[in-house]
Amino acid sequence: MAMKFTSPSEESAKISTEVVCGFWCGQIASRTNRWMRQMLQDTLLALACVFACFASNLSAQQPLDGAKPTQWRVIWTSDPATTATVSWSTAKPSKKNVLHWGEKESGLRQTSTNTRSGLHKDLRGSFELYFHHVRLRDLKPGTAYSVQMESDDGRSPEFYFVTAPAADRPFSLLFGGDSRSVQTNRQQVNRMIASMVADGETTGDVSRDILALAHGGDYIADGKNLAQWSEWLSDHELTVTPSGRLLPLIPARGNHDVGPIFNEVFDFPEDDANYYALAIGPQVRFVTLNSETSIGGDQAKWLEDELKGSRDRYRWLVAQYHRPAWPAVKSPSEALRHWVPLFERYYVDLVCEADGHNIKRTPPIASDKVNQAGVVYIGEGGLGVTQRTPKQDRWFLQSPGMADSGHHVQLLTFGQDELRYQCVLLGGKVRDTYSRKPHTHPDRQP
């Protein structure tokens, strides 16, 4: 085509220019046409998906039945070796709400009647659901406890949970986030979690014993919608193992979990700031932060005090929160400015993030560079939400880091010499593994 421009004749040059213009116009028109057609096809496909999504949601069932206990769960927000909150829901108000409990070996010998009950605030409709919380104290560390909830219309099945150990022994935790939006995926992941907990219990390998699930937030799409919370709570029942083991939850607040229901569901005080730290065993400090309130200010000061006090006392420091400092999609949260310098200063071993709806693991990062003594960030939410394509060109996702997408849960195994991380995809395939040794920085005592 370019040769036509070199024609000596002015007339032919004019013609060739027209030909070239015509060619490019044709190309543009053809590409635009193809692009528009593709967009139309994709749009129709998407509309079909929306229809299918609505159709499947209609078939979801609520297992609530009058004043019969349901939506059972155990929550860890204070010392998990000696305390736990056992919670359940009823669809109708109930006068008698008690918890029968006792060491698993000796049976349900005690009954707690100091239940905190109330009607959930539904800010989006008139869905009716009542919460009941019993805070158990003075439990024995590393002990299995049987629990059975009772309300006016009957008793729940008998379950059990295990308190955190007092001894320095290996164990595992699960981390995941973003269980919102697609219920069928969420249910599948919950079933997989139950199966992992059951497997861990029966192998005899104590390091595979999964003690709790840390949830990085975004349980449901609209935090003010009680019907959605109720679905999530019912789906959470699927994490119970066939032997009746309840997996305690360590909850963090996500950006979709706005409103008062979050605190009601997880037994936080009404105006709680939702950041706290747990000692899970004598060598693991697990810090939960709230990226949905002021990240600087009091929370950053609390974090600094917490890390300063914990670094020398614990072998492993782990933090979880919702909005990532090193995101695989979207932009970094304020955590990058206010928390990351503290993580680096106090050699936090692993940070669990959510919100991005993908799989990621960064290399160890310190001062915006790969540094073996730095902090590793994992994430970003695969408990059911639609997965996204991570932006692989970001430096902190490139090898030795990684990023991918797929529904998943992340398994953290804390040993004496090693912290092992595995990203387990729905179906059981391990997508990513990583391990690190305890920090041996000269400034701190191991």
Partner 1 sequence: MPPAKLTPEVVVQRRVTNCLRVVLAVQCVGMAARYLFVPFEQESDFFSTLVFDWEWPETLAQRYEDVGMWAMMVCGLALLVFPLVERILRYASSGPVPTLPARLWQPLPLLFITCWMLTIALFSMWRGGPYAEWVLGEWAARFAVPLALLAFLPTRAHPRIPERRMTDWIGILRFATAMTFVVHGWKALEHYPPFMDLVFGTFQRADLPEPQQVDVQAALTVIGVLDLLVAALIVMTRWPGVAFYMAAWGFITAASRVTSAGWNAYAEMLLRAANGGVPLVLFLYWTGLRTLERKAASENDQANDWNTEGYEDGDEVHESERRVG
In the window 115-154, what residues touch partner 1 (CB under 8 A)?
Answer: none
Contacts of partner 1 in 309-338 (CB under 8 A): 327, 329-332, 334, 337-338
Find the shortest distance in angstroms from Cβ 241 to partner 1: 30
How far, in Å, CA of 282 to CA of 31, rounded? 64
Instruction: Determine which residue in the list 150, 231, 235, 292 makes contact with partner 1, applying CB under 8 A.
Output: 292
Q: Binding segment for partner 1 among 14-22, 193-201, 288-296, 342-350 (CB under 8 A)?
A: 288-296
Q: How far is the CB of 164 from partner 1 (least distance, A)?
A: 31
**Closest CB to partner 1 among residues 83, 290:** 290
Interface residue with partner 1, options 45, 144, 373, 430 (CB under 8 A): 45
Q: Which is nearer to partner 1, 11 or 271 (CB)?
A: 271
Tell me the two tokens of residue 379. Answer: 């994430």
Residue type, 425: L
Minimum distance of partner 1 from residue 331's CB (angstroms): 4
The answer to whether residue 46 forms part of the interface with partner 1 (CB under 8 A) is: yes
Segment 337-376, which members bind partner 1 (CB under 8 A)? 337-338, 357
Residues 6 or more apart in contact with residue 70 via CB below 8 angstroms: 63, 64, 88, 89, 90, 91, 156, 234, 237
Kindly state the smallest distance separating residue 421's Cβ from partner 1, in Å: 25
Closest approach of partner 1 to the CB of residue 116, in Å: 26
Tokens of 151: 């309300």
Q: Which of 168, 205, 298, 368 binds partner 1 (CB under 8 A)?
A: 298
Of the candidates 194, 112, 192, which has an alpha carbon nearest to the alpha carbon of residue 145? Answer: 112
53 binds partner 1 (CB under 8 A): yes
- Least distance from C-beta 373 to partner 1, angstroms? 24
For partner 1, what does the binding mask look like between residues 167 and 206, x meaning CB under 8 A? -------------xxx------------------------
Binders of partner 1 among 215-244, rule CB under 8 A? 221-225
Residue 130 near residue 89 (C-beta atoms within 8 A): yes
Q: Which amino acid is at 26?
A: G
Residue 289 near residue 422 (C-beta atoms within 8 A): no
CB of 330 to partner 1, least distance (A): 6
* Size of interface with partner 1, in residues (CB under 8 A): 40
x/- string (CB under 8 A) for partner 1, residues 381-420? ----xx-xx-------------------------------
Question: Nearest distance from residue 222's CB to partner 1, in Å?
Answer: 4
Instruction: Please tell me whether residue 43 binds partner 1 under the rule CB under 8 A.
Output: yes
How many CB atoms are closer than 10 A to CB 258?
A: 14
Of 53 and 166, which has the nearer Cβ to partner 1? Answer: 53
CB of 299 vs partner 1, minimal distance in Å: 9
Interaction between residue 305 and partner 1 (CB under 8 A): no
The nearer residue to partner 1, 23 or 35, going by C-beta atoms, is: 35
Identify which of residues 297 and 428 has a Cβ nearer to partner 1 in the complex.
297
25, 49, 206, 430: which one binds partner 1 (CB under 8 A): 49
Interface residue list for partner 1 (CB under 8 A): 39, 42-43, 45-46, 49-50, 53, 180-182, 221-225, 255-256, 258, 292-298, 300, 327, 329-332, 334, 337-338, 357, 385-386, 388-389
